[in-house]
């Protein structure tokens, strides 16, 4: 009979560890493998463990060579943190690009304003010169 789907990831750790270390008895192993298609957390954990440590769910060559659940969790969390960091940096660079574009626009606008003011002054000066007026 398959295990119930894990809602608390920590609850999955003992079974996951035992499975990855090949310490489950055949019946428990069968139950856990029946549980995998139902439980996304466990499936992902096994997939991550499999990608980090190829051949992990097979019998380990030496006893105790497999990392502990805590190590596995730490590695999964580190991977998650790296993904989050990458996303954050991506967002940051997008924000920076936007700020840069706004800064350029503001600079252009102020340049435009300065240019306009200069033109106005020159026009005013020209006006004064051509009309012979002025202070
Ligand atoms: Zn599970």
Ligand 1 mean position, distance from CA 88 (Å): 29
Domain limits, the chain: 1-67
Task: Give yes or no for residue 134 having a pLDDT over 60.
Answer: no
The pTM score is: 0.40
pLDDT at res. 62: 44
Token pair of 36 as six digits: 């995998």
pLDDT of 85 strictly over 80:
yes
63 C-alpha to ligand 1 centroid (Å): 24
Distances (CA, A) of 53 to 34, 64, 76: 22, 14, 12
pLDDT in the model for residue 58: 47
Please compute the mean of the pLDDT values over residues 63-91 and round it to a whole number.
Answer: 79
CA atoms within 13 A on the CB side of 84: 6
* Rg, C-alpha atoms of the chain: 33
State the distance from the centre of ligand 1 to the C-alpha of 79, rounded, in angstroms: 20
pLDDT digits (tens, 9 = 90+) for 34-63: 998 888 888 888 888 877 776 665 444 444
């Amino acid at each position: 009979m398959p295990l119930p789907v894990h809602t608390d990831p920590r609850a999955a750790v003992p079974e996951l560890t035992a499975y990855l270390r090949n310490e489950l008895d055949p019946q428990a192993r069968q139950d856990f493998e029946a549980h995998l298609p139902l439980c996304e957390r466990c499936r992902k954990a096994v997939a991550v463990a499999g990608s980090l440590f190829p051949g992990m769910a097979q019998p380990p060559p030496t006893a105790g060579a497999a990392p502990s659940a805590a190590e596995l969790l730490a590695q999964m969390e580190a991977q998650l943190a790296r993904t989050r960091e990458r996303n954050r940096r991506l967002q940051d660079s997008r924000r920076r690009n936007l700020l840069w574009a706004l800064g350029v626009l503001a600079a252009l606008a102020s340049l435009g304003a300065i240019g306009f003011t200069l033109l106005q002054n020159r026009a005013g000066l020209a006006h004064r010169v051509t009309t012979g007026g002025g202070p």
